[in-house]
Amino acid sequence: MIALDTTDRLILRELVRDATQPASTIGRKLGLSQPAAWRRIRRLYDSGAIKGQRLDLDHERLGFGVTVFLGVKLATKGRVSLDDFERAVSAIPEVQTVEHILGLYDYRLRVVARDISDFERVLRRRIMTLPGVGDVEANVLLSEERRPGPIG
């Protein structure tokens, strides 16, 4: 486990807000020299505390007006069908995330579509035809808020 001090946490928060900020900008905000800020940023990436970056896009402006979370239960269980399902579902471009969960459903999918009729097309042609798919529950996303988490 990676231990962070308060300065690391503040840097982490800055990088979650905007990962393209130069070390000098972050250093200025937190009262660190450019080399000191750079070394800490480097360590956050190298140690794996930061696992990557994500482009935050305005979905609606790009024509994706609808996000739906699907809870999928597999009809037939077994090692083979899980692998087949995961491979097939991951290949669908409209499926943004695939999570294997324990509880009511086997998988949770985040699906984007242009509108409700486009979503219906994705659901019928792509999702319902997946190998082993059983019950599907749909919840339409109305709002979403990502919180900073326990780093501040």
Residues at the contact surface with another protein, assessed by CB under 8 A: 1-2, 4, 12, 15-20, 44, 47-59, 61-62, 64, 69, 86, 89-90, 93-105, 107-108, 110, 112, 137-152
- Least Cβ distance, residue 126 to another protein (angstroms): 12
Alpha carbons 89 and 109: distance in angstroms, whole number: 9
Q: Select 76 or 139, whichever has its Cβ closest to another protein.
A: 139
Distance from C-alpha of 36 to C-alpha of 38, rounded to nearest angstrom: 5
Question: Which C-beta is closer to another protein: that of 19 or that of 36?
Answer: 19
CB 141 within 8 A of CB 68: yes
Shortest Å, Cβ 19 to another protein = 4
Nearer to another protein, 2 or 31 (CB): 2
Q: Is the backbone of residue 63 left (phi > 0), alpha (psi -120 to 50) or beta?
A: left
Nearer to another protein, 34 or 67 (CB): 67
Count CB-CB contacts under 10 A for residue 68: 19
Kindly tell me which of 76 and 90 has the beta carbon lying closer to another protein.
90
What's the CA gap between 137 and 140, in Å, rounded? 10
| Min dist. Cβ of residue 27 to another protein (A) | 16
Instruction: Give residue 101's identity as a one-letter amino acid code.
Output: I
Cα(65)–Cα(1) distance, integer angstroms: 39
- Tell me the closest approach of the beta carbon of residue 6 to another protein, in angstroms: 14
We find the least distance from the C-beta atom of residue 85 to another protein, in angstroms, to be 9
